[in-house]
Chain A
């Protein structure tokens, strides 16, 4: 087992997929609209309901901020990006279609994308690359894991990641939690780009099957 698979945590009971996602996103904070689903809140936000937006923020902000900060590390930049994401949610809630998926998926997909955009655009990426020493990095899984600082909190995801091959896991972890492009992953692990693409796809398919995700 590799170094990033640490920190045992509670494993929520999973019923169906949607319930799982909702459960995993449940931060158990007091919520004035606790009886309203996040999907319904988004619908209300699209209609200009600021109270619904505040409730949605309270539900999602620690998830969004936690993920952004995992990629960016810098607290101030992470707050900036979190703010941008919530302004997008406010402005773009009308684009959300509950028939196509859950609110949590919508928000976290947007969150990851925005965090990656910032990583790529910002000075942070240059700093980060020099700090990690990308050019003379050996493909040592423990080093990779240590530098990416991934702590996977959820037992189920942790177990699923553990079923990947080392190379699949390294590639997926660097891409998702490190925000690295497949080209960067290829450089860092000293493996050809085509191989990285294959590892990312095979790794994600394996994860999908382990997690029981179907469309």
Chain B
């Protein structure tokens, strides 16, 4: 049995974990690529994902506050929608970062630019196999509406712009900068009241296509929790960190294999401690 065969067997055993969203990001990406040309496994995975829906339906519904309805209906009033997915498409970019000059000047008439799947992913999308891939696209789409305008990097969608401005315009915003190993600078802005932070990088040397920058919260004991991934280069790029900032956290950036890692696998190229 070749290594490849063995890995395929291992992946084929992950249908249950996948259906239950119990894989980490990198495993899930690998599993979904594998599904594209594994018809039997895909069929089982689809059925198990449907089965998981029953588990969700077995939970007692709970009505959210009416204010949430108003807030959501208000939010969609000028929120552009994605176009229908094309049959063929270029590769998916990871979460597209926000070009800094665009922050605070979000055009509501932005062009729709869903992040499109690769052909393999399209194939993997046969039914629910596709849902999870689609979610990635939808999430990326949330971020990159605005799209490519004359070669300029994507403008932020409303929500991402709002996430950033919530921090940068907070009354208690604090900032700290540091040099990045290998060239460039990073500035962290954080707001204790918002419990959020955003990182702006400039003049980074850039990465190969199979690498990505990953953000981490590092607590007092040295434990790292992922705060998302981003791509950046020479241009000033602002990325909101996922998760919550806590007092005393150190924010670090590492270079990781594309798709991100569960724990840092390289030495941080920059670390900024917050007070």
Contacts and interface: CB of A to CB of B under 8 A. Distances in A.
B20 A176 contact: yes
A48 interface: yes
Interface stretch (B124-132, B179-187, B206-214, B266-274): B124-132
Interface stretch (B92-100, B222-230, B250-258): B222-230
B79 A208 contact: no
A121 B227 contact: yes
A38 interface: no
Interface residues on B, range: 35 or more
A72 to B, nearest CB: 12
Interface of A is mostly: helix
Contacts of B44: 205
Given A87-B142, A121-B227, A116 B21 contact: yes
Interface residues on A, range: 35 or more
Contacts of B242: 121-122
Contact of B55 (A110, A176, A183): A176
Contacts of B54: 21, 24, 154, 156-157, 160, 207, 211, 213
B72 A50 contact: no
Contacts of B57: 21, 24-25, 63, 104, 108, 154, 157
Interface stretch (B63-71, B170-178, B197-205): B63-71
Contact of A198 (B13, B59, B134): B13
Nearest to B50: A213
Contact of B141 (A46, A91, A106, A179): A91
B246 A123 contact: yes
B131 A109 contact: yes
A201 B64 contact: no
Contact of A95 (B69, B134, B145): B134
A101 B128 CA distance: 8
7 contacts: A24-B57, A83-B75, A95-B114, A95-B138, A112-B56, A160-B54, A204-B20
Interface of A: 7, 9, 21, 24-25, 27, 46, 48, 50, 53-54, 57-58, 61-63, 65-67, 69-70, 78-79, 82-84, 86-88, 90-95, 100-101, 104-106, 108-114, 116, 120-126, 151-154, 156-158, 160, 172, 175-177, 179-183, 185, 196-205, 207-208, 211, 213-215
